[in-house]
């Protein structure tokens, strides 16, 4: 009886946590939290976020574009990759078998020119919520960041997988922040620059160890 009551409480806490996450993602955070988050990303990225960039004056004739004048693509969450759920061993992440679920709530980006390349810093903020089955003390969150040339035939220009560790709390709802520092790609021409976009999302394959290189046979 005690076990059933505890499971019921966990399920109620899980549903409440998911409802809270969805309300934050759709309606925005409270004014105090929004101010704190905004200041953090401004300090990290010099004021740039996923909001549309404002027009900037053109550089003087013969002068290269400064870093803050480099065209920096918009950043968005890849469709189908906004959440990441893990179930109990051998079970799908459904209902009372969910151990935890992670979601992305905010992104930011900044671009720098390095010769003929662009190096981007992509910031991701999200939240991990413990499920009814109980989350482990630490959670590995798999992420992927990519720059894509949109259009009829979408083309991946560069893509990198990352992992970040989140320490869970007794409350079962923990925010996380991750910054991808090293996504680099060739500087696009002015003709196609507007079609570039940054995609972020969860990618379970990022947790799979890379295969070891085979040694050459003697």
One digit per residue, the tens of pLDDT, for the chain of length 218 reads 544 444 555 554 555 555 444 443 333 333 333 334 445 455 554 444 444 333 344 444 444 444 445 689 999 999 999 999 999 988 999 999 999 999 999 999 999 998 899 999 999 999 999 999 999 999 999 999 999 998 888 999 999 999 999 999 888 899 999 999 999 999 999 999 999 999 999 999 877 765 555 555 54
What DSSP string runs through 141-192?
Answer: EEEEEEEEE-SSS-EEEEEEEEEEEEE--TTSEEEEEEEEEEEEEEPPPTTT
Helix (H, G, I), strand (E, B) or coil at 157: strand
Report how far residue 63's alpha carbon sits from residue 58's, in angstroms, rounded to the nearest whole number.
10
178: tokens are 């991750």
Residues 6+ apart with CB under 8 A from 97: 87, 88, 91, 131, 132, 133
Backbone angles phi, psi at 98, to 5 degrees: -75, 125
Cα separation, 180 vs 111, in Å, equals 12
User: What pTM, to 2 d.p., does this model score?
Assistant: 0.68
Q: Give the three-class secondary structure for 109.
A: strand
């Amino acid at each position: 009886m005690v076990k059933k009551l505890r499971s019921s409480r966990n399920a109620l806490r899980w549903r409440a946590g998911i409802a809270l996450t969805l309300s934050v993602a759709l309606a925005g955070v409270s004014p105090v939290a929004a101010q704190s988050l905004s200041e953090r990303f401004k300090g990290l990225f010099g004021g740039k976020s996923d909001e549309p960039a404002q027009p900037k004056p053109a550089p003087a004739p013969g002068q290269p574009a400064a870093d803050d004048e480099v065209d920096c693509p918009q950043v968005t969450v890849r469709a189908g990759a906004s959440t990441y759920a893990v179930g109990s061993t051998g079970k799908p992440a459904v209902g009372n078998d969910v151990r935890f679920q992670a979601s992305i709530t905010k992104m930011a980006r900044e671009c720098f020119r390095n010769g003929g390349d662009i190096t981007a810093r992509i910031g991701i903020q999200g939240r991990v919520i413990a499920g009814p089955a109980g989350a482990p003390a630490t959670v590995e969150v798999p992420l992927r960041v990519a720059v894509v040339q949109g259009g009829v035939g979408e083309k991946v220009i560069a893509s990198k997988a990352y992992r970040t560790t989140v320490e869970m709390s007794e409350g079962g709802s923990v925010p996380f922040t991750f910054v991808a520092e090293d996504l680099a790609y060739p500087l696009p021409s002015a003709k196609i620059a507007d079609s570039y976009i940054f995609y972020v999302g969860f990618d379970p394959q990022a947790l799979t160890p890379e295969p070891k290189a085979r040694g050459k046979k003697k």
